Amino acid sequence: MDLNFTTEEQLFREEVRGFLRAKLPAEISHKVLGGKRIEKSDFVRWQQLLNEQGWGAIAWPEAFGGTGWNAVQQHIFDEECADAGAPMQLPFGLKMVAPVIMEFGNPAQQQRFLPHIVDGSDWWCQGYSEPGSGSDLASLTTRAVREGDHYTVNGQKTWNTLGQYADWIFCLVRTSTEGRRQKGISFLLIDMKTPGITVRPIIMLDGEHEINEVWFEDVRVPLENLIGEENKGWTYAKFLLGHERTGIAGVGRSKRELKKLKEIAATETTNGRPLIEDQRFRDRIAQVELELMALEITNLRVISAEGEKKRAPGPEASILKIKGSEIQQMLSELQMQALGHYALPYTEEALEADWPGDPWMPDYADYAAPLSGHYFNYRKTSIYGGSNEIQRNIISQMILGL
């Protein structure tokens, strides 16, 4: 039982830090740390820089161009990237469709798609949810009908994140209506440039365009874009949902946001003293820090155990999701609360990287501007990726056997 990192792990951490110092563009980390809007180009540029280093796909096996790092190394990398202000690597290609392609795709699919994920040239998005099927995914109705050498797809997907930039979408589609609902689902890869696809923005409550509806009208998808076998898509979908593991707790990002919260509370004053010296507010920070300390160790316990392959992933993934999202939400709420009056203004232009700040407002109003929006936006974290209610169902039913 040892909570210290080994010498090798510490050296690895130094290596990651050195890389970040040398290669992470300041204009990108400025945006991330300042809560600015991150552009497509930022995500792609960072992915390219990582790829040049050979670190484009940290969780993949080396055979597919991954690093082969163990879970603790991946955790250290995540943590350092978050702390330095690297943009998140979007999961849709790297952590979602890629493992499915590696496990169930054929060699041609693997060669076609995987390298373009690592080098950032293909932007992937997800086509799972539909207006009528959210938590109840298996009720999906988007139809794919086999006609000669292709499927014809008709239907509508929603809660599609950043699909406005996407080159490819992976979709669950219904290829049969016989038997159990789960039996008639297939897993298709669809080129977003195919005629008949329409992407319509959904504006989030913070005013941002982050998600979309995707409409399919007689969209022709070559048979070769089917993953695995027809009507077996539910198996691949469950594999995908159960696969993403490191990073689900978001510990690295939450540690960064905790640091930011403390900085804000040290800057904002009340009765002439820094807010952090107000015991009532400091106790609130302390309480969320306790949660995060516990989660960091729980997370390490989970990934260490998995790293040793001693057992299959357990209820821990759901615990990490629930606690991770709750902590993100608490942090964003306290950041907003810390601002006092400056939690109120909605200054959209402050989300632009080149916003010069406003001479009218006090200095801290600059970093303040995005924070209430973040609080609103982060309500999604207990909803997406299987709502926290679904996670509690999983814990109680799948694990506890209730």
Partner 1 sequence: MDFNYTEEQLALQDTLRRFIARDYGFEHRRESAKSTDGFDRSAWKTFADFGILALPFPEGFGGLNGNAVDTMLVMEMLGRGLALEPYVSTVVLCGGLIRDAGSTEQKETLLPAVAGGELMLAFAHFESGSRYAVDHVATTATANGHGWKIDGAKAVVLGAPSADKLLVSAKDGKGISLFLVDAKIPGVTLRAYPTQDGARAADVKLAGVQVGADALIGTAGNALPAIERALDYANAALCAEAVGIMSALNEVTLEYLKTRKQFGQPIGKFQALQHRMADMVIATEQARSMATLAAVRADSADAAERSRSVAAAKAYVTQSARLVGQQAVQLHGGMGVVDELNVSHYFKRLTMIGLTFGDADYHLGRFSDTLTMPHECF
What part of residues 264-303 is at the interface with partner 1 (CB under 8 A)?
A: 266, 268-271, 275-277, 279-287, 289-298, 300-301
Judged by CB under 8 A, how many residues of this single chain contact a second copy? 3
**Nearest distance, CB of residue 282 and a second copy, angstroms:** 11
* 279 contributes a contact to a second copy by CB under 8 A: yes
Which residues have CB under 8 Å from 312's CB, separation 6+? none
Residues of this chain, 53-112, that bind partner 1 according to CB under 8 A:
72
Q: Of the two residues 4 and 279, which places its CB atom closer to a second copy in the complex?
A: 279
**Which listed option, partner 1, a second copy, none, makes contact with residue 6 (CB within 5 to 8 Å by class)?**
partner 1
Q: For residue 145, which phi and psi values (nearest 5 degrees)?
A: -110, 130
**Which listed option, a second copy, partner 1, none, makes contact with residue 5 (CB within 5 to 8 Å by class)?**
partner 1
**Nearest distance, CB of residue 280 and a second copy, angstroms:** 7
**Nearest distance, CB of residue 277 and a second copy, angstroms:** 13
Which residues have CB under 8 Å from 223's CB, separation 6+? 146, 149, 150, 151
Residues of this chain, 200-239, that bind partner 1 according to CB under 8 A:
202-205, 207, 211
Tokens of 104: 């169930």
* 178 contributes a contact to a second copy by CB under 8 A: no
Give the integer Cα–Cα distance in Å for 376 and 231. 39
End-to-end CA distance of the chain: 32
Binder of a second copy out of 21, 273, 280, 310 (CB under 8 A):
280
Sole window of 127-135, 142-150, 212-220, 279-287 interacting with a second copy (rule: CB under 8 A): 279-287
Q: Of the two residues 116 and 282, which places its CB atom closer to a second copy in the complex?
A: 282
**Nearest distance, CB of residue 279 and a second copy, angstroms:** 6
Give CA angle at 350 (349, 351), nearest 5°. Answer: 85
Give the integer Cα–Cα distance in Å for 126 and 109. 17
DSSP 123-179: -EEEE--BTTBSS-GGG---EEEEETTEEEEEEEEEEEETGGG-SEEEEEEE---SS
Give the integer Cα–Cα distance in Å for 113 and 249. 28
**Which listed option, a second copy, partner 1, none, makes contact with residue 358 (CB within 5 to 8 Å by class)?**
partner 1
**Which listed option, a second copy, partner 1, none, makes contact with residue 256 (CB within 5 to 8 Å by class)?**
none
**Nearest distance, CB of residue 66 and partner 1, angstroms:** 21
Q: Which helix or strand (DSSP H or E) is residue 220 part of?
A: strand 209-222
**Which listed option, a second copy, partner 1, none, makes contact with residue 309 (CB within 5 to 8 Å by class)?**
none
Pattern 361-400, binding to partner 1, x per CB under 8 A?
Answer: xx--x------xx-xxx-xx-xxx--xxx-xxx-xxx-xx
Sole window of 98-106, 188-196, 229-237, 263-271 interacting with partner 1 (rule: CB under 8 A): 263-271
Q: For residue 147, which phi and psi values (nearest 5 degrees)?
A: -140, 100
Active-site positions read: 244
Tokens of 289: 């820090």
Which residues have CB under 8 Å from 273's CB, separation 6+? none
Q: Of the two residues 240 and 338, which places its CB atom closer to partner 1 in the complex?
A: 338
**Which listed option, partner 1, a second copy, none, makes contact with residue 271 (CB within 5 to 8 Å by class)?**
partner 1
* Cβ burial, residue 23 (10 Å; 0-12/13-18/19+): middle
The amino acid sitting at 272 is G
Binder of a second copy out of 2, 149, 178, 283 (CB under 8 A):
283
Give the integer Cα–Cα distance in Å for 211 and 190. 18
* Cβ burial, residue 211 (10 Å; 0-12/13-18/19+): buried
* 402 contributes a contact to a second copy by CB under 8 A: no
Q: Of the two residues 280 and 311, which places its CB atom closer to a second copy in the complex?
A: 280
Residues of this chain, 149-168, that bind partner 1 according to CB under 8 A:
158-159
Give the integer Cα–Cα distance in Å for 130 and 151. 19
**Nearest distance, CB of residue 289 and a second copy, angstroms:** 16
**Which listed option, partner 1, a second copy, none, makes contact with residue 9 (CB within 5 to 8 Å by class)?**
partner 1
Give contact residues for a second copy (rule: CB under 8 A): 279-280, 283
